[in-house]
Amino acid sequence: MHLAFFEPRIPGNTGSAIRLAAATGATLHLVEPLGFDLSEPKLRRAGLDYHDLAHVVVHPDLEDLLASLPQSRVLAFTTHTTTRHTDVEYSDDDVLLFGPEPTGLPPEVLAHPRVTGQVRIPMLAGRRSLNLSNAAAIAAYEVWRQRGFDGGE
Q: Residue 80's domain is classified under what CATH number?
A: 3.40.1280.10
Q: Is the bond into 102 cis (omega within 30 degrees of 0)? A: yes
Answer whether residue 97 is part of any domain.
yes
Digit-coded pLDDT (tens) for 56-95: 999 999 999 999 999 999 999 999 999 999 999 999 999 9
Q: Please, which pLDDT band fits residue 42 given cuts at 50, 70 and 90?
A: low
Q: Please, which pLDDT band fits residue 96 given cuts at 50, 70 and 90?
A: very high
Answer whether residue 152 is part of any domain.
no
- Burial of 12 from C-beta contacts in 10 A (0-12 / 13-18 / 19+): middle
Q: Is this model's pTM higher than 0.85 or not?
A: yes
Answer whether residue 37 is part of any domain.
yes
Count structural domains, the chain: 1
Q: For residues 67 and 115, what is the distance between their CA atoms, to the nearest angstrom?
A: 13
Q: Please, which pLDDT band fits residue 48 given cuts at 50, 70 and 90?
A: low
Number of C-alpha atoms within 13 angstroms, CB side, residue 74? 25
pLDDT at position 19 over 60: yes
